[in-house]
Amino acid sequence: MNTLISPHGADALRPLLVANDSERQQLNNDAQALTAITVSSAAAGNAVMLAAGYFTPLDGFMTKADALSVGESLCTSTGLFWPTPVLNLIADAGALKVGDRIALRDPNVEGEPVLAVQQIEAIDVFSEDELTTLIQQVYGTTDPEHPGVAEFRAQGNIAIAGPIQVLNYSYFATDFPDTFRTAAEIRSQIAANGWQRIVAFQTRNPMHRAHEELCHMAMQRLDADGLVIHMLLGKLKPGDIPAPVRDAAIRTMIDLYFPPNSAMVTGYGFDMLYAGPREALLHAVFRQNMGATHFIIGRDHAGVGDYYEPFEAQEIFDQIPAGALKIELFKADHTAYSKKLDKVVMMSEAPDHTKEDFVLLSGTAVRKMLSEGKAPPIEFSRPEVAKILMAHYQQE
């Protein structure tokens, strides 16, 4: 019997999608008569993650007390380890009151259909000081130029807390039918594959040679049976490569450069927080929920700009309580192609190298090459992958 890693804080996944067709139809009908609010894209992403079981064992949106506790101590007020607040923040509660059932409308789908129904258990107002403190704790900065901070601040300061029942997976299941997968679907596929040791790789970008080799290294060193490439399908910052292009590039790489049936390409419906270390912990929580036993964390994981130190997202795992997570880390250094060794290596494992011994290209330099129709060096990017990216950049 193949026993998978247990979900976070629970014996079984707790997906909040109403799975029964007739119950879901009834709830959708009921929702039309309820007071409705259009939620933020961030809250819609939270609802999708709750629906898909990734946020097990949460049953809905947090209270202010839980969010402040998470900010302060990485735990909810009941002691559940959780790294980032999961909130439904709005700017104006109007006539909403505790005890109401409300319909949550989806800002990311045309016509703003109902995404979920929420039972209001608390309506909490964050003071300016409380918001500032929480933002500092979660994002490590209060700089309004930080994309995650800007997005958080734009939502409002009133938290509508309480359990939710979710009707659909927003646009993710329809726009990415081959890639979007729930935590239960990934667990099911892992079990069907007979995998016992599973490495997860997070990406919001196409994968270059260094990423590819990092996955090979992790699988080899951990003696893993399989790799789950898990890509973010939600909102990114301007200039990031859209999900369909990333998807095509990654699938091409897997098909050509990984053994058959050794890797799954999947995705999840969530907006990027750019919260660096805290987001790395959140990524680990939902990778454990989807069945991975190991998680690759490299340089500047979930970071943006110069807000975080290169390996802060690894170091935070050494600071959390023992046993907070069952998933284990594979810590990766910066990887690059060594001209001396004619292969990709972790730079820390090549002490006899100078900078000139590596093929190092900045993201800006690579984007310039691609937009000019020039393929980056073969040491940096597989030609088949570069071709897909060049086509995208030349359309822009």
Are both 224 and 238 inside the same structural domain? yes
Amino acid 368: pLDDT: 85
Are both 235 and 347 inside the same structural domain? yes
Are both 118 and 134 inside the same structural domain? yes
Amino acid 1: pLDDT: 46
Assess if residue 295 is contained within a domain: yes
Q: Are 277 and 243 within 8 A, CB to CB?
A: no
pLDDT tens, residue by residue, 270-309: 999 999 999 999 999 999 999 999 999 998 899 999 999 9
Assess if residue 87 is contained within a domain: yes
- In the residue annotation, 289 being an active-site residue is answered as no
Assess if residue 258 is contained within a domain: yes
Number of domains in the chain: 2
pLDDT tens, residue by residue, 152-189: 999 999 999 999 999 999 999 999 999 999 999 999 99
Are both 135 and 189 inside the same structural domain? no
Are both 292 and 388 inside the same structural domain? yes
The domain that holds 139 is classified in CATH as 3.10.400.10
Are both 45 and 186 inside the same structural domain? no
Q: Which residue numbers in the chain have pLDDT < 70?
A: 1-2, 396
Assess if residue 260 is contained within a domain: yes
Q: Quote the domain boundaries for residue 132.
A: 21-173
Assess if residue 3 is contained within a domain: no
How many angstroms separate the CA atoms of 76 and 61, rounded?
A: 12
The domain that holds 205 is classified in CATH as 3.40.50.620
Catalytic site residue from 24, 197, 204, 367: 204
State the chain's mean pLDDT as an integer: 94
Amino acid 141: pLDDT: 98
| Domain limit, last residue, from 130, 156, 173 | 173
Are both 157 and 195 inside the same structural domain? no
Are both 55 and 164 inside the same structural domain? yes
Are both 88 and 182 inside the same structural domain? no
Assess if residue 245 is contained within a domain: yes
Are both 114 and 186 inside the same structural domain? no
Are both 229 and 262 inside the same structural domain? yes
Strand bridging mode 294-297 / 122-125: unpaired
Assess if residue 13 is contained within a domain: no
Q: Are 376 and 369 within 8 A, CB to CB?
A: yes
| Domain limit, last residue, from 173, 205, 238 | 173
Assess if residue 344 is contained within a domain: yes
Catalytic site residue from 157, 205, 251, 367: 205
| Domain limit, last residue, from 173, 194, 216 | 173
- In the residue annotation, 205 being an active-site residue is answered as yes
Amino acid 2: pLDDT: 60
Are both 125 and 215 inside the same structural domain? no
